[in-house]
Amino acid sequence: MPVSVLDPERYRGDFAILSVSSPRGKPLVYLDNAATTQRPRAVIQAIVDTYEHHYANVHRGIHWLSDRTTDLYEQARDAVQRLIGAERREEVIFTRGTTESINLVARSWGEAFLRPGDEILLTEMEHHANIVPWHQAAARTGAKVRFIPITDEGVLDLSSLDQLLSARTKMVAVTAVSNVLGTVNPLESIITKAKSVGATVLVDAAQSVPHLPLDVSRLGADFVAFSGHKMLGPTGVGVLWGRAELLDSMPPFLGGGSMIRRVTLEGFEPAELPSKFEAGTPPIVPAIGLDAAIEYLDAIGLPAIHQHELALTRHAHERFAELGGVRLLGPAPEQKSGVVSFVVEGVHPHDVAQLLDGEGIAIRAGHHCAMPLHKRLGIVASSRASFYLYNTFADVDHLVDAVAQTQRRLRRK
């Protein structure tokens, strides 16, 4: 067996769901972490404790219970600030998730800064959440969306970046890690070049913050977006980090309670950051759950988690290569994180996922919200296994063995 810096057996007991069996009595092998991760008991307990002991609405109470909930909600903001190295706590905006965070920027920043003829530069490997809001912003403002191509190997083709970037480029929005290829993108060089033409930079960190250290004080980007549910936290909470001066210069995204300083019959005056972008009752309990998730991840350490996922990815690549008849998408493990997408020759990815499901192995099949990427790869769908800290080498072996069984079964037919 290969070795890893992290022993997942130390943590698996914290995740009750990993002990459930499938309806056919097979133990769960959960390899769909890029879609959503599972929650440890500490996170579930934080949610239960909040509802049982500390729950009221935030920022509007004149009673002690609301003060207590507000403290916990704001402590969650501090935890996010520490996690990503943000200089100021008010730069951390709680949203419902990456999708909402990117929509906030595309709508609000787009309205303030995009003009006809401006260009928005994305990449061919973006998730739809980092494409569609920009198509919408382009339609509203007359700006144009362009794309950094990828190579056949599944890495960004940066040879064309100098040509693509110009004074017209107002936004460069790029994923830190591809949710299909697993490719870890060279953010620093992209950001340096984007900045040299004066562009604003958004990083879709949905697949990176949960797995790799990211320090916004050094990154040089202007916006970073990620989701709680992909990092052991609850659904319904995500983060937009943005530079305070930029957020200050943008109009509010949603209007309503909490985001105002004053409302009159004639108009309104927005609140200061971060309230300005947190209209209505925010995701109070999900944010408190996210705080517990961050504490759990901190205790293990993101560098160890990344190394562990890399070891699993390496093992999967080696085993699939030995097996044959499987096209692996994306580059060599060294350039990847814990995502292994593949196509079994002659078998539809949905059939692969269904046959694996019969063995209790949960993977994802389809276009993974990346249709342009699949088109570029010349396929309509793929199967995807994605790892987290609680996955084992045995999980990978189950996956490859089940794929081998699928090949044998379908060959016999």
Shortest Å distance, C-beta 265 to ligand PMP: 36
Shortest Å distance, C-beta 308 to ligand PMP: 20
Tokens of 353: 């996922």
| Residue placing its CB nearer to ligand PMP in the complex, 180 or 352 | 180
Distance of CA 381 to the CA centre of its chain: 20
| Residue placing its CB nearer to ligand PMP in the complex, 68 or 135 | 135
**Site of interaction with ligand PMP (CB under 6 A):** 34, 97-99, 127, 129-130, 175, 179, 204, 206-207, 227, 369
| Residue placing its CB nearer to ligand PMP in the complex, 46 or 239 | 239
Tokens of 178: 């591809």
| Residue placing its CB nearer to ligand PMP in the complex, 40 or 210 | 210
Spell out the residues 6+ positions from residue 342 whose beta carbon is closer than 8 angstroms to its own. Answer: 320, 326, 327, 328, 329, 382, 383, 384, 385, 403
Task: Exactly one of 212, 300, 362, 369 is catalytic; name it.
Answer: 369
Shortest Å distance, C-beta 56 to ligand PMP: 27
**243 catalytic per annotation:** no
Helices (H), 228-283: 244-248
| Residue placing its CB nearer to ligand PMP in the complex, 32 or 118 | 32
Cα distances from 406 to residues 25, 317, 348, in angstroms, run: 19, 18, 11
Shortest Å distance, C-beta 32 to ligand PMP: 10
Shortest Å distance, C-beta 306 to ligand PMP: 16
Nearest to 307 by CA among 377, 224, 212, 373: 212
Name the packing angle between helices 393-412 and 349-358 (round to 10°).
110
Shortest Å distance, C-beta 280 to ligand PMP: 18
Nearest to 309 by CA among 299, 321, 317: 317
Spell out the residues 6+ positions from residue 83 whose beta carbon is closer than 8 angstroms to its own. Answer: 209, 294, 297, 298
Could you give the count of Cα atoms lying within 13 Å of 359 in the half-sphere of its Cβ? 21
Question: Phi and psi dihedrals of 361, rounded to 5?
Answer: -100, 120
| Residue placing its CB nearer to ligand PMP in the complex, 254 or 369 | 369
Nearest to 395 by CA among 310, 326, 328, 312: 312
Tokens of 221: 């980007």
Residues recognised as catalytic: 369
